[in-house]
Structure 1
């Protein structure tokens, strides 16, 4: 089995409503779709959702690095040889995890289709039968967030995650409004996306949020401030999750050595794909750190890849892969059984890509030349 052809599609996925986090507002989601064809005729799809604020990549840089560097190096390679493929990519260029993730995911889809097996079956086998899907609230006015939260809980969701990180005072108002709206029994998680910057502001915020029965708080300080995470963890009574602070193995090693958080949010776009994500999970499991598989608001392609990692991993306790639910149009058909997600037993990623929709959303198209 050899990789014969790699095509790239720059697309913009339309959001139903803008998605707002502490560092950016997204009116649509730019994405790079990889279509990988093997010499035996199988087709695998991958996806890169780059984020300048998290991975240091853009849509344009991702296309360039795949088109001119990584893609040509993989032509003729066996997509089953994932250890070698990642070694080749890592030797060629440092970082660029979303670009590597797109190629990694496409390889996994190809291999699964060749074997006639879902990806989860050959990266560990199914462990979980289903995961509850948490509704994610982007940043808005307290009343609007509270109204949306109440609507979604009434619609069947069992938990909510709030994006915060504007400033301490208004964030406390947001949490208070949502808690009042959903009542005392609904789990609420808050994701600060580094917005409180340092341990001092975070401790001030968490003191004011004491009593709102939060499930956990995610990445309140700057991504590289592991010392700040340690201080926060030692002084609050709510579980602490790290996200932007852990991309690859070096940060995971630092996390485990410092025990800087109770939980870690692993994303394929941050670490380089399915294969390195499984390695990170093994390290976290050895250190007793609970894991979540998250996303950068991705289409059915990368979202399904994340779910295959989650469903095959005992240490994964939660998922946050809701991109397809936020889009008014998607290129794939990943199916949610809300408020849960259950994977099918189709080969590869288990989704069909609608070529007509892909063509309609494409703004630029390229073929990798060896």
Structure 2
């Protein structure tokens, strides 16, 4: 089996409501879709959502990287050779993990279809039967966040990720308002997205959070300040998760060596796709660090890829892949698998996603073909 053609689509995915985090507001999500076709006519779908704040990639730079560098380099290659595909991409360009993730995901999808098995069977088989679905609360006034949380509890949700990172005092009010509204039985995770900047600000916040039953505090400081994470972890009774600070195996080695986090948030866009994500999960498992698979708010394609990783590994204890329920239009049908409060994957080959090419055409801003 050889790769014959790669089509690249720049897509704007429409959100039901703007997605607001500490460093940006997203009225829609800019995604790059890859359609990989083999000589035998099989099609694999891939996706990436680049983020210049985390990986240094923009949608425009990622599109160009795929069109002019990465896609041409793998035409004629066997998509089953995951290690070799990544080696070839790494030799062509340093880093650029989101761009590489789009290729990686498409390869896994087409290989699963060729062999007639779900992607998780290519990763060691299915371990988890289902995962709780977490609703993400964008930054807003405390009462509005509490109102939304109450509404979602009534819909069946049992866990929330709260986006904060505006200012310590205001964020503490937001967290307390949600906790008071939903009660003690509902899980709350707090994601600062680097917004508290340093350990001093974070430890000030932690003093107010330690009695609120928070599941974990995620990436409170700047992504490259691993030493600040070490200090916070040593002084906090709230479990600490690292997100933006873990991108690749080099970061993972430092985090393990310094014992810088209680939990790791693996995202395929940060590490380069399914194959590198499995390497990070294995490293974390050896160190006894629990993992989560998170997202950059991808469509059904990218979200399904993350789920296949999560469902295959015992060390992955939670997922936060909410794109398909946040879009007013999606490219695939993964939303059917969200049976609140759980997500349960189907057993179709590859990613198990049926892509609606009419919607893809409708949402595409521009596209190109590489290969025959």
Is residue 229 of structure 1 aligned with residue 229 of structure 2? Answer: yes
Q: C-alpha distance in 1, partners of 2:118/2:185?
A: 36
Mapped partners of 1:338, 1:179: distance in 2: 20
CA distance in 2, matches of 1:210, 1:236: 8
Alignment of 1:72 with 2:72, yes or no, is yes
**Match of 1:214, SS?**
coil
Q: What residue in structure 2 maps to residue 82 of structure 1?
A: 82
SS, match of residue 368 in structure 2 = strand
1:213 maps to what in 2? 213
Over 2 Å off, 4+ runs: none
What per-residue deviation string (whole Å, max 9, x for no partner) do you get for residues 151-183 of structure 1? Answer: 101110111110000000100110111011101
Q: CA deviation at 1:213?
A: 1.2
Q: Once the two structures are superposed, what CA deviation does each residue of 1:113-169 show, in whole Å capped at 9, x if it has no partner? A: 000000001211000000000111010010100000011011101111100000001
Q: How does 1:243-322 map to 2 (within 5 A)?
A: 243-322=243-322
1:71-91 Cα distance to aligned partner (Å, 9 max, x none): 000000000000000001111
Provide Cα deviations, 1:244-278, integer angstroms capped at 9, x if missing partner. Answer: 00001100111111110000000000000000000
Quote the Cα distance in structure 1 between the aligned partners of 2:309 and 2:349.
15
- After superposition, the C-alpha distances for 1:180-202 in whole angstroms (9 at most, x for unaligned) are 11012111110000000000000
SS of the equivalent of 2:215 reads strand
- What is the alpha-carbon distance in structure 2 between the residues aligned to residue 170 and residue 194 of structure 1? 15
Following superposition, the deviation at residue 210 of structure 1 comes to: 2.5
Matching residue of 1:157? 157
Task: Give, in whole Å, the separation in 2 of the partners of 1:185 and 1:129.
Answer: 23
- For residues 304 and 338 of structure 1, the distance between their equivalents in structure 2, rounded to whole angstroms, comes to 17
Distance 1:183 1:310 in 2: 28
TM-score (norm 1): 0.99
Distance of 1:95 and 1:23 partners within structure 2: 22
Q: In structure 2, what is the Cα distance between the partners aligned to 1:40 and 1:255?
A: 44
Counterpart position of 1:126: 126
CA–CA separation in structure 1 for the residues paired with 2:113 and 2:205: 49
Distance in 1 (alpha carbons) for counterparts of 2:210 and 2:123: 41
Structure 2 distance, partners of 1:322, 1:35, is 22
Are the aligned partners of 2:4 and 2:371 in contact in 1 as well (CA < 8 Å)? Answer: no
Q: Root-mean-square deviation (CA), in Å?
A: 0.7
Cα distance in 2 for partners of 1:117, 1:257 equals 37
Which residue of structure 2 lines up, in the alignment, with residue 346 of structure 1?
Answer: 348
The more displaced of 18-27 and 180-189 is: 180-189
User: Cα offset for 1:369?
Assistant: 4.3
> How far apart, in 2, do the equivalents of 1:208 and 1:121 lie?
44
SS of residue paired to 1:40: coil
Identify the residue that residue 38 of structure 1 maps to in structure 2. 38
Secondary structure of 1:25's aligned partner = strand
Corresponding residue for 2:108?
A: 108
Structure 1 segments unaligned to the other structure (5+ residues)? none
Q: Which residue of 1 aligns with 2:63?
A: 63
CA contact (8 A) 2:9 2:367 kept: yes
Distance 2:33 2:122 in 1: 23
Residue-pair matches, total: 370
Alignment partners' CA distance in 2, 1:88 and 1:355 = 29
Residue 363 in 1 paired to residue 330 in 2? no
Return the alpha-carbon distance in structure 2 between the equivalents of residues 295 and 186 of structure 1: 22
Deviations 1:279-316, CA, capped at 9 Å, x for gaps: 00000000000000000000000000000000001100
